[in-house]
Amino acid sequence: MGLLLAVVVHPANLQDRDGARLVLRDLAGRFPRLRQLWADGGYAGQLVDWVQEHWGWMLTIVRRPQGHPGFAVLPRRWVVDPKSLPLGTLAWLSRCRRLSKDYEGLPVTSEAWVHIAMIQLMLRRLQPL
């Protein structure tokens, strides 16, 4: 459904793999049925072992087939990258004017606005106009 489980806003100078640790720490203990995660190649490396060691979850890296130039349909890619869907989570969030630019001075304020945008989206899905 593209609903968010956790939101962490961090500085742009933080690597995606390091930012993923912040998000995964936020998920720990909140979703007891969570067992499997998928990520794209940018998250490969020590993160896979760290996730298994700290949380007992299986992190699977979805990779492009070797030697395949151009576009390739990847298994579970829609889960890995909602931007690839026309109406994925990031597309829905980009419709929120407040999130279109970086207006906020604090990361927690930006996180709060993402939560507000998702609440608005869920309410619209419950009661369509």
Contacts of 23 (CB under 8 A, 6+ apart): 6, 8
The two three-digit tokens of residue 22, written as one number: 């912040």
- Predicted confidence at residue 58, as pLDDT, reads 93
- Predicted confidence at residue 88, as pLDDT, reads 62
How many helices, marked H, and strands, marked E, lie in the chain? 5, 2
The CA distance from 10 to 41, in Å, is 20
- Predicted confidence at residue 85, as pLDDT, reads 41
The CA distance from 49 to 69, in Å, is 29
**Is the pLDDT score of 92 beyond 80?**
no
User: Using an 8 Å Cβ cutoff, are 4 and 102 in contact?
Assistant: no
- Predicted confidence at residue 1, as pLDDT, reads 62
Q: pTM to 2 decimals?
A: 0.70
